[in-house]
């Protein structure tokens, strides 16, 4: 991981002052992200990290009539458990619960999605689905039977 400066502002004004003018040099840490993992893999290389989790004025979920304001530092757990969100926006509460699932550690039962095998399988599935638009599934049966007959198997 590349060395970086860490800032922990207590107000929005202080945070804005720390953000800087050049894109990519400063990254905001608000929680619920895998930013540190991306930094370890050198996919994100900010010079400064600004932690906004402790800024009270940009947190919380507030309901005003039919409108709901979701703060920038609201966690997925808060989103899932908030009664106003569950009642008014049940799909958003469900999305919060699904996004908050723990990552399964790599084992024999997991399939990594960042390697060439996954890319090859994904492209293969896309190609098959594309071809099925021109060759409907009903047309595949006779094609398979033809190849089986060529190998000496008949039905």
pLDDT digits (tens, 9 = 90+) for 87-141: 888 888 888 788 766 777 778 788 878 788 999 999 999 998 888 887 776 677 7
Task: Provide the number of structural domains found in the chain.
Answer: 3
For 2-15, write each residue's pLDDT tens digit.
888 899 999 999 98
* Average of per-residue pLDDT across 22-41: 79
Q: Is residue 155 part of a domain?
A: no
- pLDDT value, residue 32: 55
Residue 108 maps to a domain: no
Give the residue carrying structure tokens 């530092």.
73
What value does the mean pLDDT of the chain take?
Answer: 84
Q: Is 67 found in the same domain as 39? A: no
Within a domain: 74: yes
| 40 and 84 inside one domain | no
pLDDT for residue 100:
64
Q: Output the pTM of the full model.
A: 0.55
What is the per-residue DSSP string for 45-99?
--SEEEE-TT-GGG-SEEEETTEEEE-TT--HHHHHH-HHHHHH-HHHHHHHHHH
* 107 domain residue, yes or no: no
Parent domain of 53: 1-58
| Structure token pair of residue 6 | 């860490």
């Amino acid at each position: 991981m590349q060395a970086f400066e860490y800032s922990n502002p207590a107000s929005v004004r202080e945070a804005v002052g720390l953000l800087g003018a050049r894109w990519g040099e400063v990254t905001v840490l608000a929680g619920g992200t895998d930013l540190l993992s991306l930094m370890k893999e050198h996919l994100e290389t900010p010079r400064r990290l600004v932690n906004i989790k402790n800024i009270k004025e940009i947190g919380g979920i507030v309901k005003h009539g039919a409108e709901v304001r979701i703060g920038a530092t609201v966690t997925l757990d808060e989103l899932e458990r908030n009664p106003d969100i569950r009642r008014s926006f049940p799909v958003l509460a469900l999305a919060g619960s699904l996004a908050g699932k723990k990552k399964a550690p790599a084992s024999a039962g997991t399939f990594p999605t960042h390697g060439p095998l996954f890319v090859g399988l994904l492209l293969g599935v896309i190609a098959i689905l594309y071809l099925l638009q021109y060759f409907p599934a009903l047309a595949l049966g006779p094609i398979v039977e033809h190849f089986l007959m060529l190998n000496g198997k008949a039905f």
